[in-house]
Structure 1
Amino acid sequence: MWLIGATVVDGTGSDPQTGRAVLVEDGRIAAVGDAPPSGADAVDCAGLTLTPGLIDAHVHFGLSSPIDASVTHGVSVAELAADMFENCRRTLASGFTTVRDTGGIDAGLVGVVAAGKVAGPRILCAGPVLCQSGGHGHMAPEWEPTADWSDHDIPGLRALSLLCDGPEEMRKGAREAFRRGADFLKLCVTGGVVSRHDKLTDTQFGVDEIAAAVAEASARGTYVTVHAHNNDGIRNAIAAGVRCVEHGSQIDDETAALMAEHDVAHVPTLAVVEALLEDSTDAGLPARIADRVGVAKQGQIDAIHASRRAGVRIGSGSDLIGPGQDNRGRELLLRSEVESPMAALVSATSVNADILGIGDEVGTVEAGKRADLVAFRDNPLEDPKVFADPGAVALVVQGGRVVRDER
């Protein structure tokens, strides 16, 4: 199959190339050239802008229903599953061919999507988040006994978090997360915006606890990423050997330099902040959450600039939660306003692929890579609002198979 006539933006940061032809064979990109041979099986992409399949490095498919109801048994398992499946379908249809789920699902969802029983992107998952009792990720009300938290798990579908206190419990939690299908580990090392029991300035887990998770991940040839806002928590995580920081809303120049020194990546998440500022009740959260969000918005913008100055790898994640997860591309629009449309696209393709450890497979339009591709009706580099318009996606190819065609 030849995709012909598109303007190709290859995901490396190189200038767009007009009128290109991309050959897809056996699920991979076989060649990028000027024109196919006569009689070739061709898909006309004239007037479209073709990019690598987008990658969202911070999703929560396990939180696809109204949040408060979904964690207090206020939503049936059937509805939870239906919402998660629909979220997967819409994510793929909007051009995101790979995602990294940073906590809340287990291998059950990953498996049914990979088998083709549910339409969706390729999923790398952390399994349940590892958090301390009462920390970010422990979403139970104050009156609920801590021992009851595991009752919220739905084996084979959703496991929000495992509570770990002390290095030995951390080792056990890490091993349990891997048993449930985790590809990497996610820890919460500071308070969070939607937390019930902490503040953004709180640090969580000691260096010894974080290091125990790093050791378990290293033993399996993978890594630890951390939810972190304040610099004390980030520094603890760096000292323990983590590979990535999510959010990072208080990263300053000094901390960014330390991250660069230790090759620790940064995945900002602007879309969720914007959505919660507009109306946190849409996600099924209390309106008062907005009071905690404002600080995180400007903080993340400043942190992006600090990371860029230091030479930190900056990925891209939406972190959308609740039922309103239709517009993951808004993250790229918001990043375009902070940096540039090209920087936003590169972060959401080749840089994300590198952070996820799959850069040899996806993330660029070049021979040998998986044929994960998305074509937009207009050029998002000229008008980044295109990123935030799911209707602007004309064609989605995943693993060489056309999964959406609205040309």
Structure 2
Amino acid sequence: MAHCNENYLNLQGAYLFAEVRKKQEAYKAAHPDANIISLGIGDVTQPLAPVVIEAMKKAVEEMGHVETFRGYGPEQGYLFLREAIAKHDFQDRGCDISPDEIFVSDGAKCDVGNMQEIFAESDIVAITDPVYPVYVDSNVMAGRSGKYVRGAYERFEYLPCYEECGFKANLPSHDPMIIYLCSPNNPTGSALTKKDLTVWVRYAQQTGSVIFFDAAYEAFITEDDVPHSIYEIEGAKEVAIEFRSYSKTAGFTGVRCGYCVVPKELMLETKKGEKISANQLWDRRQCTKFNGCSYIVQRGAEAIYTEEGQKQIQETLDIYRKNAAVILAGAKEAGLPACGGVNSPYVWLTVPEGMTSWDFFDFLLNEAEIICTPGSGFGPCGEGYVRLTSFNTPELTKEAVERMKKALAAR
């Protein structure tokens, strides 16, 4: 009989968002007439921008003719998209990123989960707490975690993010080789300033660690001192890999497209002390395990970089930004401390005294028919909080906030 990968046995419970969905479906089954409003899973509601639709239609038409049909594309992504990314997302911001450092994929979640494969199993991982669960679970599956003991994995270095510090982590104390940072942060909504990020880059340069910088929500940044890319910091190309997504930027959650940047300056070390390019390793991994993102989808992504495309996606992003402001204001009116919602589509809400995160989840579901995401699912430091998202429609977002305020007032 074949043997299982026992690293999977170290995973704790169900994947957070699957558990939320399971509870929602159970409530709906017991209350068929329920009018549930979801501010939980971060899925978008607004349609794709017209320029994206037109570009994808044109690409579909091309696929119907021998002369313009496309088969397998480059595993790294089509050059037309990588050139647009390099120019608009990086070079226009003063970041020296070239197309051959960009790898287009079917979403940032896959890249964030898979990037650890090119690193040694022995490398210690530092993870902020609370944290996006994929960072944790992918390294558990890879065998880096050790056993789960008293609410934590033995071999991870946890970086607590407390309210008193603006939900920002202090530097690690044990010099891990892989450090996960997310800014604007999922789930807390906090954002790292240029000064904050400079400290992390300098630390990585001194210790030889590599920063996995998740910038999936950079499109929501509104404050001038919050970098959109870690490569805005001098020296970051030597120590950082960046992950981006079109899911929230352009509503591609169901279309699937994102990319990562693996700079050519970033070198990893073999057991013999030899230096090897992380860019080359990732390229080899992608060519082996990935056949590339759809041509049709990549044409859609390219369209958002046009002048009209930028205008259209900003109109949609403004809807979500206003929703976030409504949620943040409503939470404070209800007497619950909250943060985020400024550079982020997420609002991180302190639950009422005497409740756990899942208690408040159940309260909102049963008393207001609202779905949130329990903070404890993001790590031990997430207990006592819930995450609310701004990705619903303006009408339903306002209704959800009124329901929440009413339920809390009647409690």
Query: Is the shorter-chain TM-score for this pair beyond 0.5, marking a shared fold?
Result: no
The structure with the largest helix share of the pair is 2
Larger radius of gyration: 2
The structure with the largest strand share of the pair is 1
